[in-house]
Amino acid sequence: MISNQPPPEKMMFQLTLRRRGISDQAVLRTMEEVPRELFVEASDRDGAYRDSALPIACGQTISQPFVVAYMTEQLQLQKSHRVLEIGTGSGYQAAVLSKLAREVLTVERYRKLADTARARLEKLGCHNVEVMLGDGLDLPANIGPFDRIIVTAAVEQIPQNLIDRLELGGILIAPVGPHQGVQTLTRLIRGDRGIERKELVEVRFVPALPGVAREL
Ligand code: SAH
């Protein structure tokens, strides 16, 4: 029998995201479209649609799908938006963002991860993503402003120089807390009367570290 239905592991993937509370249809569709198996290590392909973080090169991790979907939903993306991501990692979150926004600039401190992610994203046709090697916590002043900023590595505090790059009405989301242990996903909105801050859910991210990594 010929069927148009997605394979069972992708159906489970969607079900898990919905069950955990993701309801934005555009986000759910995008999570279905982006092939996560191409962003994990070859030996982890079979488990690519389980709801767990997985190791990638340079001792880093690709985030858990629920957390990617949740952060994306919280950003309330529109097709006109310019987005900044700190922490390219595998490039998976950037691919998800690229389908829902106009332009994505994603910054990574490991050259190897930046190069691999860039090649992957090009191959997948995500032409509106630019991958930059650099320290996302210390960007040159001429970069920005952005409608949305997403930090995908743990910060003890949200750097003021990132907040300053938010457009009016802009949203920033970041895991805030100690480098080892649990962080609180925190959302800032720049409104007419200043910054509105909301703490969302607990998460575990690898730490944001200063400078471009010396290793390749
Ligand atoms: N968003 C990624 C997962 C992020 S893992 C994905 O979808 O796969 C966190 C990443 O942040 C790691 O690759 C780490 O090297 C990077 N990182 C940590 N500190 C950074 C900094 N100061 N600037 C840029 N990238 C940083």
Q: How far is the CA of 87 from the centre of ligand 1 (A)?
A: 3
214 domain-assigned: no
Taking residues 152-158, report their average pLDDT.
Answer: 98
Q: Is residue 209 included in any domain, yes or no? A: no
> Residue 37: what are its φ and ψ, rounded to 5°?
-60, -20
Domain membership flag for residue 1:
no
- Ligand 1, atom 10, lies closest to the CA of 87
CA of 120 to the centre of ligand 1 (A): 16
117: left (phi over 0), alpha (psi -120 to 50) or beta: alpha
d(C-alpha 146, C-alpha 36), whole Å = 26
Query: Mutate which of 88, 116, 120, 143 to test ligand 1's pocket (most atoms within 8 Å of Cβ)?
Result: 88
Tens-digit pLDDT profile for residues 109-148: 999 999 999 999 999 999 999 999 999 999 999 999 999 9
Name which of 215, 206, 4 is nearest 88 in CA terms: 206
**Does residue 196 form part of some domain?**
yes
Residue 3 placed within a domain: no
Residue 57 CA, distance from chain mean position: 17
| Average pLDDT in the chain | 96
> Is 159 inside any structural domain?
yes
**Residue 123 falls within a domain, yes or no?**
yes
Nearest C-alpha to atom 11 of ligand 1 is from which residue?
A: 87
The model scores a pTM over 0.95: yes
For tokens 């069927």, the residue is 3
135 burial level (CB within 10 Å; 0-12, 13-18, 19+): middle
**Distance, CA of 79 to CA of 50 (rounded, Å):** 29
Structural domains of the chain, count: 1
Find how far residue 82's CA is from the centre of its chain: 14
Convert 89-101 to b/e letters by CB count within 10 Å (16 or more is b): bbbbbbbbbbbbb
Q: What is the CATH number of the domain that holds 61?
A: 3.40.50.150
Report, as residue numbers or ranges, the catalytic residues.
63
Q: Does some domain include residue 211?
A: no
* Domain ranges, residue 171: 8-203
pLDDT band at 2 (very low <50, low <70, confident <90, very high): low
